[in-house]
Amino acid sequence: MNRRVMLGGAGVLLAQALISSAQTATGGRKVIFEHEVPDLTLKNWSATAVEVSFGPGESSANHRHPGITIAYVLEGEIRSKIGDGPDKVYTVGQMFIETPNQLHSNSGNASKTKPAKLLAILLAETGKQLTTPA
C-alpha cells in the first residue's frame, strides 16, 4: 500500500469530522490544511483516530509518535511545539502535523479556565506503540 492510498483513507476519516467547517456559504469546499509528507512505505500501516481532551491548564508530557500524526482542534485552544518549530497556539478548525519520531513538546491546553479537545489521526506501522515518552 503506498502513502497516497493510506493518506487518502485517513483523509476520508478526517473529512467526515471536518465537513461542516470546510464548507463555504455556497456549499463548496476550501482547503484548510496542506503539508508535504515524508516519502514512506506504508505497507502494514494502520490509521487510528484518537480524541484528546485537556482540562483547563492541562498538558501532556514530551513525546514522540512513530508515524505521521495529523491533529485538528475541535474545542478551545491547543498549545504545541513540534520539533525545532516555535511554540504555537491552534484554535478551533486549525490543524497541525507531526512527522515520524518528531519531538512534540509543550503540548496542551492554552487556557487555564476552559477545556480543549483535538482529534488526532495517527498513521503508523500496525502493532507499534502510538506514543512514547521523550
Tens digits of residue pLDDT in 100-118? 999 999 899 999 999 999 9
Spatial CA neighbour of 48 closest among 121, 115, 117: 121
Domains of the chain: residue spans and CATH: 3-126 (2.60.120.10)
Give the pLDDT band (50/70/90) at residue 37. confident
| 23 pLDDT more than 90 | no
Exposure of 3 in the CB half-sphere (CA atoms within 13 A): 9
Three-state DSSP class for residue 39? coil
Spatial CA neighbour of 31 closest among 21, 41, 40: 21
| 57 pLDDT more than 50 | yes
- CA-to-CA separations, 29 to 1, 32, 85, 120, 122, in angstroms, rounded: 28, 9, 29, 22, 24
